[in-house]
């Protein structure tokens, strides 16, 4: 037996990652936040499209 909801949720996440290629919002946020390390909380972070670049920029990131 399989868990249909889990399969659909995984598929939705994979489609989002494949289709969401824009990084303008991430670049804008990094420019506003600045270079000094900040603590960043992102609610509903999903696959981390936004949080991973923030962490790579040296910020302390938390996601739910």
pLDDT, position 13: 82
Separation of alpha carbons 12 and 24, rounded Å:
22
Q: Residue 33 in contact with residue 18, Cβ under 8 Å? A: no
Spell out the domain ranges in the chain: 4-63
pLDDT, position 33: 93
pLDDT, position 1: 65
Q: Residue 64 in contact with residue 43, Cβ under 8 Å? A: yes
The model's pLDDT over 6-61, given as tens digits with 9 standing for 90+, comes to: 888 888 888 887 887 788 999 999 999 988 999 999 998 888 889 999 999 999 99
Phi/psi of residue 41, each to 5°?
Answer: -115, 125
Which position has the token pair 């909380």?
41
pLDDT, position 31: 95
Q: Is 5 exposed, middle or buried (0-12, 13-18, 19+ CB in 10 A)?
A: exposed
């Amino acid at each position: 037996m399989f868990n249909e909801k889990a399969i659909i949720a995984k598929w939705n996440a994979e489609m989002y990652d494949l289709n969401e290629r824009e990084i303008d919002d991430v670049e804008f946020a990094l420019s506003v936040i600045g270079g000094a390390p900040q603590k960043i909380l992102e609610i509903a972070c999903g696959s981390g499209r936004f949080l991973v670049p923030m962490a790579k920029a040296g910020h302390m990131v938390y996601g739910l």
